[in-house]
Structure 1
Amino acid sequence: MPTHCACTGGAVVTAENWPYPRWVAHRGAGKLAPENTLAAFRVGAAHGYRMFECDVKLSADGVPFLLHDDTLPRTTNARQHLGAGNSAVAGDHAWGELARLDAGSWHSRSFAGEPLPSLDAIANYCLANGYFLNIEIKPTPGTEAHTGEVVAQHAAHLWQHAATPPLLTSFRPEALRGAMQAAPQLPRGLLLDTLWTGWLETALTLGCVAVVCNHALWDTSSVTQAKSAGFRTLSYTVNDEWAAQRLMALGTDGIITDRVDLFSPSVR
C-alpha cells in the first residue's frame, strides 16, 4: 500500500494511520447555532473543536452543499422565498436559488441571513484553519450513487494538497460505492442506525476504514467485531456524560456530539 496519496497530497488514512481527533462537532456546533452553516463551524471552533461533521447533498445543477433534510422548510425560509407552488425538495433547485435562502433565522434572530454554504466554502474554512472534516453524504432519494461520486470528486479536488483528507461517511452503501469508484483514495465510513445483517461484510466490501454507529449499538461484542475486522469505531450523537464515558471505556475512537458546550475536545 502506498504511504502517500497523489490526490490528497497527504498520508493515506487507514485504521492504523488515523489522524482524526476523538471529539467531533455535529453539524458544526450541535444546537448552539444553525446546523450545517459556516456560522455553526465558527461556534464549534470557538469551543475548541478541531473536527466537524456535516451533511452534503447536490443541487439540481450538481453543486455539493450543506443540508441535512431532503426538504428545505425546516432550516431555511424556502416557503417565503421560493413560493408555495415550488418544490420543497432541496435537490430540485439550482445552486443559484439555494444560495439566496436564509438558513439562520429559524434558529435565532442573531443568525438571520446566514446562507446555506457550499462544500467549497466549508473546505476553504477548514483548510485555512487546519480543521478536520467528516462529510456525511446525504443524497436526495434516487441519487445515491451519483451523489457519492460527485461529492467524492469535489472533495478529492478541494483537499488535493492537504495533509489530511476528509472522512466520507453515509448510511447509503450505494453512495459509498460511488465515492469509492470516483475517489478510492479518500477514507470512507459506513453509518449505521441498526446492526443490520451483513453490516460488517458491507463495510469491508466498500473498503471502509471506520464504522459509525448510533452510540447505543456499541457494546463489547460489536466493538470487538468491528476492531477485529480492522475498523475504527465512531459514535453519534452523544450528548450525555454517561454515554461518553461508556464509549470511552469500550475503547471506541470517535464521539460525534451536539454538546460542544459540555464536552471539552481536549479530553482523550
Structure 2
Amino acid sequence: MPEPSPTAWPLPRWIAHRGAGRLAPENTLAAFRLGARHGYRAFECDVKLSADGVPFLLHDTTLERTSNGLGRAGDLRWSQLALLDAGSWHGRRHAGEPLATLAGVAAFILRNRLALNIELKPVPGQERLTGEVVAAEAARLWAGSGLPPPLLSSFSPVALDGARQGAPGLPRALLLDALHEGWPELARGLGVQAVITDHRLMDAGVLATLRAQRWRGLCYTVNETEDVQRLLALGIDGLITDAIDRHAPD
C-alpha cells in the first residue's frame, strides 16, 4: 500500500475528544454515541494492546481511574478486560458499560459514516508493536469501506514508525506537548501528514512551518471560546475538544 498523499485529509475541523469529552465515560461506545447525538462527525480515542494482542480503548497505562480493574491494562487478556465495568466511575447511569475494542468502535464509525483519529497509547515497552498491530488492524477494518481511513497519531515516534510499517497507506500525525529542538525534522523523518500540538503551543510561526511542509495543523484539548477563536483565526485544520456541548461542529 503506498504512502498517503500529503494533500489527502480524513477529518472535519471539529473532533470530539475520547468520544464525548467529559460528558460520558471516555473511550467507550456510550461516549461515541453521545458525541454523535451532539452532531460530531469526527472522534478521537486512545488505543493500546491487551496481553493477547487485542487493540482496545483506554487512555491510562493502568485500569484504576476509568474502570473497576486493577494494575496495568496490558497485563490482562481481552477475555479478562471485557468483564470490567468502565462506566460506573462516571455515574450510575453508565454502570456496567464495558471497555471497547477498536473493532467495535470501527463498526460504529463505519456504519454511521463518521471519521476517527486513533491515538496510539502503548503500554510502556510495547511502542513499536502497538503501532504495527493497531495500524494493520485499522487498515483491515477500513478496507473496502469507501470511507476516509483513520488518522493514526502518537507522542511516541517509535509507535508512529511501527504504524508506518504496519500500514504505510494510513495517514499519521505526530503529537507534541512541547516544541523540542528538531521537532520538524522528527516529523519529516516519520513521514507524517499532520502535527497535533497542545493548543497553547500553536501560533502563526508554528503553523507556517507546518504549511511549508504541506502538513495539517491540529490542536488539543481546545475547550475555551477564546482559544477556539484564536485558532480559527490562524486557520487551524483541527480542534480536538471536550466541550462538545458548548462548541457545535461545522
Bucket of the pairwise TM-score, normalised by the shorter protein: over 0.9
Aligned to 2:136: 153
**Which letter does structure 2 place at the counterpart of 1:40?**
A
- Correspondence for 1:256: 240
Pairwise CA distance, 1:13: 5.0
Amino acid paired to 2:44: E
Task: Show the counterpart of 1:218.
Answer: 202
Q: Which residue of 1 aligns with 2:107?
A: 124
> Post-superposition shift, 1:220?
1.0
Q: CA deviation at 1:19?
A: 3.6
Partner SS state of residue 8, structure 2:
coil
2:144 matched to 1:199? no
Question: Aligned pairs, how many?
Answer: 249
Letter in 2 for 1:102: D
The answer for unaligned runs of 5 or more in structure 1 is 7-11, 80-87
Query: CA shift at 1:244, angstroms?
Result: 0.5
TM-score, length of structure 2 as denominator length: 0.97
Q: CA–CA distance in 2 between the matches of 1:185 and 1:227? A: 21
Q: 1:209-244: CA deviations, max 9, x gaps?
A: 000000010111111111111100000000000001
Q: Which residue of 2 aligns with 1:77?
A: 68
**Residue 175 of structure 1, CA deviation:** 0.1
Secondary structure of the equivalent of 1:78?
A: coil
Are the aligned partners of 1:13 and 1:19 in contact in 2 as well (CA < 8 Å)?
Answer: no
Paired residue type of 1:171: F
Root mean square deviation, CA, Å: 1.1
Q: For structure 2, which runs of at least 5 residues remain unmatched after alignment?
A: none
| Residues 1-268 of structure 1 aligned to structure 2 (within 5 Å) | 14-79=5-70, 88-162=71-145, 163-266=147-250
- Residues 117-174 of structure 1: per-residue CA shift (max 9 Å, x gap): 0000000000000010000000000110010000001001000112210000000000
Question: Aligned in 2, Cα 1:52/1:115: closer, same or farther, shift over 3 Å?
Answer: same
Q: Give distance in 1, aligned partners of 2:242 and 2:207.
A: 23
- Match of 1:54, SS state, is strand
Structure 1-normalised TM-score? 0.91
The answer on whether the counterparts of 2:120 and 2:159 sit within 8 Å (CA) in structure 1 is yes
Residue pair 1:105, 1:114 contacting (<8 A) in 2 also: yes
Structure 1 residue 63: Cα displacement: 0.1
Alpha-carbon displacement from aligned partner over 1:174-218 (angstroms, at most 9, x marks no partner): 000000011100000000000111111111111100000000101
4+ residue stretches of structure 1 with deviation over 3 A? Answer: 12-15
Would the aligned equivalents of 2:19 and 2:27 in 1 still touch at CA under 8 Å?
yes
What SS does the aligned partner of 1:156 have? Answer: helix
- Identical positions, percent: 58
- Which residue identity does 1:196 align to in structure 2? H
**What residue identity is the alignment partner of 1:127?**
L
Q: Are the equivalent residues in 2 in contact too, given 1:34–1:40 (CA < 8 A)? A: yes
